[in-house]
Amino acid sequence: MEVNEALVQQLADLARLEFSDAEKTEIRGDLQRMITFVEKLNELDTTDVKPLLHLTEDYNVFREDAVKPSITREEGLQNAPAATSEYFKVPKIIKK
C-alpha cells in the first residue's frame, strides 16, 4: 500500500489535526514504514499457530479479598484545610 499526500490529509481531517508541509512529509514516511512492517508480517507462515487469547498463562488471577486495617475518620480529616467532624468542607462551586 502506498501512502500518498491525499491519505495523510484524509487521516488528518478524520483526526481533526492540522500539519505543516514538513510535518506531512515526516508523517507520510512514518506511515509508510509502519505499513511496510505490517506487510512484512503478512509474509510469515502462521498455519500452525493458534490464536492468542491471553498474553500470559495466568487466567483470572485475583488477590484474596481480606479486610485490612485502615485509618480512622479523625486521622483522615486531621490535615484537611476545612472539615466538620465527619466530612471535608469544600468551596461551593455551583451557584443558583
pLDDT tens figures, 1-16 = 788 999 999 999 999 9
pLDDT at 42: 87
pLDDT digits (tens, 9 = 90+) for 16-25: 999 999 999 9
Grid cell locating 20: 505543516
Residue 27 has pLDDT above 90, yes or no: yes
CATH architecture of the domain with residue range 5-41? Orthogonal Bundle (1.10)
**Rounded to an integer, what distance in angstroms lies between the CA atom of residue 45 and that of residue 52?**
15
Residues of 16-39 as b/e, b for ≥16 C-beta within 10 angstroms? eeebeeeeeeebbeebeeeeeeee
Residue 32 has pLDDT above 90, yes or no: yes
Question: Among all chains, which residue has been given the C-alpha cell 508541509?
Answer: 21
CA atoms within a 13 Å half-sphere pointing along the CA-CB vector of 31 = 18
pLDDT digits (tens, 9 = 90+) for 33-84: 999 999 998 898 988 988 887 777 777 778 888 888 899 888 888 888 898 8
